């Protein structure tokens, strides 16, 4: 099966510092792949490359076989790859409906009249309601995003990305700051929403190994800018030394 999203021998340097070195990864249709690694492993650089935010120093970034290196997140979203927006942090005064509408409007090529006539645009309003319902936010549409619970804010962040109707979505620690009790509920909602919205593949960057173990089909471990392992979930967690390296623990056994 051909890859939806992939890097081929990607390197990224900042002066003398090599953030990524010869990294090749793939995400195929139907997969949820987690990227894990200690702080400084290169996870954020990899996500920024995969979402077109930065261009690699060497190698290729491909979506469905086409180069998307450095195209920028807006163009890449138009092509079918989205990452969580965290629009709430940028526009905390917007309501839930307006936050989702910003993404819907962007997807429909109506960027230049963003909020000019949202109330009268039946197509946008219908899509906003549909997306909100998938995430259980349909009763919160008129609520200011800033007043939501932390768990609801996370769902709204992802709902905004889903509103772009992507084929691939990149989730960068989607449950950070959320209580342990809420994390699994949010992850299940995200995965079910992905299926309902036609998302073909999910790439999850996550440090919570319980979530990684519970929902991943495959795990890619990075360390010092290199791929340390690329394994099915059961094989990954069967390797105690690998897990120690990823979590960064050396003692305590």
What contacts 46, CB < 8 A, 6 or more positions away? 7, 10, 20, 23, 25, 35, 205, 222
Structure-token pair, residue 239: 């390797």
Region 92-101 average pLDDT: 90
Calculate the average pLDDT of the chain: 87
Structure-token pair, residue 129: 């309601």
Residues 146-160 as b/e (b if ≥16 CB within 10 A, e otherwise) read eebeebbbbbbbbbb
Region 42-67 average pLDDT: 93
Structure-token pair, residue 144: 């200011």
Domains of the chain: 1-80+166-253 (3.40.50.300), 91-164 (no CATH)
Indicate if the pLDDT at residue 160 is higher than 60. yes
Burial label, 144 (beta-carbon count in 10 A; 0-12, 13-18, 19+):
middle
Residues 180-227 pLDDT 10s: 888 999 999 989 988 888 899 999 999 899 999 999 999 999 999 999
Indicate if the pLDDT at residue 77 is higher than 90. no
pTM over 0.75: yes
Region 19-28 average pLDDT: 96
Answer for the pair 16, 38: CB distance below 8 angstroms, yes or no: no
């Amino acid at each position: 099966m051909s890859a939806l999203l992939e890097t081929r021998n990607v390197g990224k340097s900042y002066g003398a510092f090599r953030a990524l070195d010869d990294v090749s990864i793939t995400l195929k249709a139907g997969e949820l792949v987690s990227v894990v690694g200690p702080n400084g492993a290169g996870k954020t650089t990899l996500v920024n490359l995969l979402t077109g935010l930065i261009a690699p120093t060497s190698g290729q970034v491909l979506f469905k076989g086409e180069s998307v290196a450095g195209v920028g997140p807006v163009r890449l979203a138009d092509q079918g790859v989205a990452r969580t927006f965290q629009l709430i942090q940028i526009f905390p005064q917007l309501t839930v409906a307006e936050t989702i509408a910003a993404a819907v409007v962007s997807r429909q090529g109506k960027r230049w009249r963003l909020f000019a006539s949202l109330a009268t645009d039946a197509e946008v309003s219908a899509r906003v309601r549909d997306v909100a319902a998938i995430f259980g936010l349909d009763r919160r549409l008129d609520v200011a995003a800033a007043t939501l619970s932390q768990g609801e804010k996370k769902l709204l962040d992802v709902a905004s990305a889903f509103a772009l109707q992507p084929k691939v979505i990149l989730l960068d620690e989607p449950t950070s700051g959320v209580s342990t009790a809420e994390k699994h509920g949010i992850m299940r909602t995200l995965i079910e929403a992905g299926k309902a919205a036609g998302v073909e593949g999910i790439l999850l960057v996550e440090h919570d190994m319980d979530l990684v173990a519970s929902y991943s089909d495959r795990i890619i471990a990075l360390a010092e800018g290199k791929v340390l392992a690329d394994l099915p979930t059961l094989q990954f967690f069967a390797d105690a030394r690998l897990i120690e390296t990823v979590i960064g623990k050396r003692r305590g056994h």
